[in-house]
Amino acid sequence: MRAPRQLRFPLARPAWPTGVPRPAPERRVGLDYDHEWSRRYPVRLARAMVLDNVTRPVARMVAPTTVRGAEHLRHCRGPVIFAANHASHLDTPLLLTTLPLEFRHRTVVAAAADYFFDRRWKAVLWSFSLAAIPIERSRVNRRSADTAAELLEAGWNLVIFPEGGRSPDGWARPFRGGAAYLARRTGCPVVPVHVHGTRHVLPKAGEGRIAVRRSPVSVTFGTPLTPEEGEDARRFAARIETAVAVLADEVESDWWSARRRAASDETPSLRGPDMAPWRRSWALDRAPGGGRDTWPRV
């Protein structure tokens, strides 16, 4: 028998004509990545086993978690959009493991196409482990919105971080309109979520320490929100940001005090004081738990 390398077409790949330039191999990554396989039943079953038996215990060991407001999810019918603040890569697996069982294994995560899907191995890893879908975060992209909307209409829940990325300094960035737009388009309610303390467990690169450190965290779910009549995506996004700020205030104080400040429009901003970077950092460290604005709003 001939060696495999000596076999000819059709038993082996045909030779490429020497006079024809060979095209570059197609790179199906980023928004072009085909992530449909990650929602097939065998993959969903494997992911559920990993999430419940590996990710969940490890997350609880590294970050002992207090969950508040889960009662708001008991009366949710149909798919919902979870909109949360974002300070650490730990936010996503932690949030997924704290979701009630009826949501946990039927949820996809909107992930940055230029970061989580820029390499084939990364796309496969995050599609399997988090059921991630690529989203364009630098500009409005109809294709990204269509993908997310189709999954919501098909019954999948969605986790999205309206800031568009992790906080660079611990304070939140302005919420973009992606979650608000999808809610208006699909009719799905938005559940505001505040994740507190993950920055101390796994900080963003560039903040000094990179190693994981055990520290308590909290996840607080708010009342589901729906767009009001005539409310555009920008105003609804601002209302979602305010709802997350109220949850953050509740974590730092108590439920009653946070609601009193919300009723009088005195809820501290998630974005921190409008000051020099070193003063913002100082204010962040002075705040209880390292996450609230103790300065008067400017």
Q: Domain holding 70: CATH number?
A: 3.40.1130
pTM for the model: 0.84
191 falls within a domain: yes
9 falls within a domain: no
- For residue 157, the cross-strand partners are 107
Give kind and range of the element (H or E) at residue 233. helix 233-252
82 falls within a domain: yes
8 falls within a domain: no
130 falls within a domain: yes
Range of the domain at 112: 29-290
194 falls within a domain: yes
What is the tally of structural domains in the chain?
Answer: 1
159 falls within a domain: yes
> Which residues have a Cβ under 8 Å from the Cβ of 216 and sit 6 or more positions away?
63, 64, 65, 66, 197
Whole-number pLDDT of residue 12: 74
Could you read off the pLDDT of 238-269 as tens digits, one per residue?
999 999 999 999 988 888 999 999 999 888 88
Across the range 15-25, mean pLDDT stands at 77
13 falls within a domain: no
Q: Which amino acid is located at 121 in the chain? A: W
Q: Is the pLDDT reported for residue 41 higher than 90?
A: yes
> Which residues have a Cβ under 8 Å from the Cβ of 176 and sit 6 or more positions away?
162, 163, 164, 237
